[in-house]
Amino acid sequence: MKNEPATLDRRSFVAGAGALLAFKPEPVRMALVGCGGRGTGVAESFTLETSARYVALADLFQEQTERAQQTLGAAAAKRGKPGVESSALFHGPQCLQRLLAARDIDVIHIATPPYFHPEHFEACAAAGKHVYLEKPVAVDVPGTRRVLRAGERLKGKASVAVGFQLRHATPYVQLVERIRRGDIGAIVCGLTHYYAGAIPRPDWPDATPAERRLRNWVHDRVLSGDILVEQNIHLVDVTNWVLEAHPLSAQGTGGRAGRNDRGDAWSHFNVNYTYPNNVHITLTSTQFIEGAWDVAMRYFGTTGNAEMRYDAPVRITGAKKWDFPGLGAPGQVTDTAAAVTGAFKGALDDADQKKQRHFIDSIVSGKFLNEASQGVESALSAMLGRQAAYTGRPWTWDELLRLGEVWDAKLDVARL
């Protein structure tokens, strides 16, 4: 007898379709290593704005993990997600290794001091994890090579994102699209600035000098990469994005005058970059001033000018005027306490959430992204300006790439 083809009646079809619709993939499980202000803030945003949830926390200091557990627990409760169990809190010198040995973790979110980024990224890549790596990827040129090699090993196997969320801010994306289509003509030069106040930290009177350095790493040149590489790198990354290139050379100045903390990071930089086609970009920055916090990038073209601020406006002036609507008045007041952790109001309102959703979507879809090389290029671009300012002479990109000096913090973390 001839076999009849299998058929489904309407009731069976609808029931089966309902089962498919009811199916939901498991949420991406994330772990945070480095539970300071920025790391915890980004983790909170991931919890609120994406389907992912945090299942483990790691930090050198126990109270950091406990504080992050409370913050993320409150955020998780708002979204009906479970918080991080106390049994999944890891602290001490081996906290990352213990975290990587734990099961059921898909993503490692690295927010440790930048000095440790190459080592921590290599460990996560070796474990085959997806990685969300906060900027900068390294503090020295050899460190960038380590990140690039580890990133290559993950290509096509896992997603790697670097924390340059500005490239996802809707006003910036729309402005760059207009620049690309020629709305300001050929870019001739630009002015970028990051005027920030001091970043206050406790004195930790009972801590050893080594512990104090680690707790207040943002004041330490070697642990942070200095302010140009740790904080002002966002300006460099956006400029690389706008010009679709990295700088060819730099010259600069700077110093520490005006700071009163115990560290050795500089208080200001003034750098002139030269990009392909003889485009000149000036970057100025501070990290000590009182009563102000202002970040902006301006690019001047042959037929118009583009302005990108952290608050408002984001616009084009000239022959083809355009202004992104709804950002408020120029120079709106910035919450300086929030700005320290990278939280700004205005043009960047959706930057973090769009960046994070893009990352999680890449994992869920299997269309893995890899931003390691972009992160390396921007880190090297910032280091080029830093090197020119430190030495007081012009430096070229090719000279920088030949640097083999490894920055040594001279810290034995295992003995803390």
Sorted by where each begins, the domain ranges of the chain are: 26-165, 167-347+371-401
Amino acid identity of residue 323, one-letter, is: D
Spatial contact of 153 and 388, defined as CB atoms under 8 Å apart: no
Under CATH, to which class is 167-347+371-401 assigned?
Answer: alpha beta
195 has pLDDT over 60: yes
Close Cβ partners of 6 (under 8 Å, ≥ 6 residues apart): none
| pLDDT score of 230 | 98
User: Strand order in 29-33's β-sheet?
Assistant: 89-91, 53-59, 29-33, 107-110, 130-133, 160-162
Per-residue tokens: 196: 């920030």
Return all residues near 324 (Cβ < 8 A) that are at least 6 apart. 170, 171, 174, 175, 313, 314, 315, 347
Mean pLDDT of the chain: 92
Architecture of domain 26-165: 3-Layer(aba) Sandwich (3.40)
* Domains 26-165 and 167-347+371-401 are alike in CATH topology: no
**CB-side neighbour CA atoms (13 Å) of 358:** 20
Alpha helices in 102-169 (DSSP H): 117-126, 141-154
Question: Does residue 3 carry a pLDDT above 60?
Answer: no
Range name among 90-94, 275-279, 334-338, 382-386 with the lowest pLDDT average: 334-338
pLDDT in tens, 236-289: 999 999 999 999 999 999 999 999 999 999 999 999 999 999 999 999 999 999
Write the pLDDT tens digit of every residue in 70-80.
Answer: 999 999 999 99
pLDDT on residue 254: 98
CA-closest candidate to residue 115, choices 222, 32, 216: 222
Q: Which residue has the higher pLDDT, 392 or 25?
A: 392
Using the predicted structure, report yes or no on whether residue 358 has a pLDDT greater than 50: yes
Neighbours of 2 (CB within 10 A): 3
Is the full-model pTM beyond 0.85? yes
Which pLDDT score is estimated for 24?
53
Pair 148, 372: CB distance under 8 Å: yes
The pLDDT value given to residue 12: 45
d(CA 192, CA 44): 30
Nearest Cα to 190, choosing from 255, 234, 227, 236? 236
Residue 93 preceded by cis peptide, ω within 30:
no
